[in-house]
């Protein structure tokens, strides 16, 4: 798993943002500035759709005030699903999305979760990562169901602690 002080692995992915859909790499998207990356098991899945993504959208201004230059959500979904989710939630233009259709990013980051028993296959574990100029500052991985350690309020508290 990626850990504090490690450089991000460069993995091909698709970026979904207000400009459209583009082929890119994780280092191109996450490698500059202070970035909050949060990963979810699936777009439109109940906890991700109702709790995790909305928390980051609602706290966008506070995150930016705390110095965050980019908020990015990644999921093992294709770029069409990620675009539809971004549009459906009103997050397009506020949060950027990485579509990890084959799970290569989840695997390279060591944040893969096997949900085969639930019929979903390999996915991202629910997590959040603070990244500064391509170097991991902190990793928050949920150890159970729900959103706690990887939610926007917890990330805001971590940023506040780091800045004090």
Q: Which residues are catalytic?
A: 48
> Are the C-beta atoms of 73 and 60 separated by less than 8 Å?
no
Residue 34 CB neighbours (<10 A): 18
CB within 8 Å of 99: residues ≥ 6 apart: 13, 14, 15, 16, 21, 74, 75, 77, 78, 79, 81, 82
> Are the C-beta atoms of 137 and 39 separated by less than 8 Å?
no
CB within 8 Å of 115: residues ≥ 6 apart: 41, 121, 122, 123
Residue with tokens 């991000």: 8
- Measured distance CA(162)–CA(164) in Å, rounded: 6
């Amino acid at each position: 798993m990626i850990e504090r002080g490690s450089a991000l692995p460069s993995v091909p992915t698709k970026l979904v943002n207000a400009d459209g859909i583009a082929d890119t790499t994780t280092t191109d998207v996450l490698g500059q500035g202070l970035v909050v990356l949060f990963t979810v098991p699936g777009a439109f899945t109940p906890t991700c759709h109702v709790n995790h993504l909305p928390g980051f959208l609602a706290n966008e201004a506070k995150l930016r005030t705390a110095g965050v230059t980019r908020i990015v959500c990644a999921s093992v979904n294709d770029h069409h699903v990620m675009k539809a989710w971004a549009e459906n939630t009103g997050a397009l233009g506020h949060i950027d999305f990485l579509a990890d259709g084959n799970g290569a990013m989840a695997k390279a980051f060591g944040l893969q979760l096997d949900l085969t028993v639930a019929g979903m296959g390999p996915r991202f574990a629910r997590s959040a990562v603070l990244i500064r100029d391509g170097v991991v500052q902190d990793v928050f991985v949920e150890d159970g169901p729900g959103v706690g350690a990887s939610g926007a309020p917890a990330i805001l508290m971590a940023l506040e602690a780091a800045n004090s």
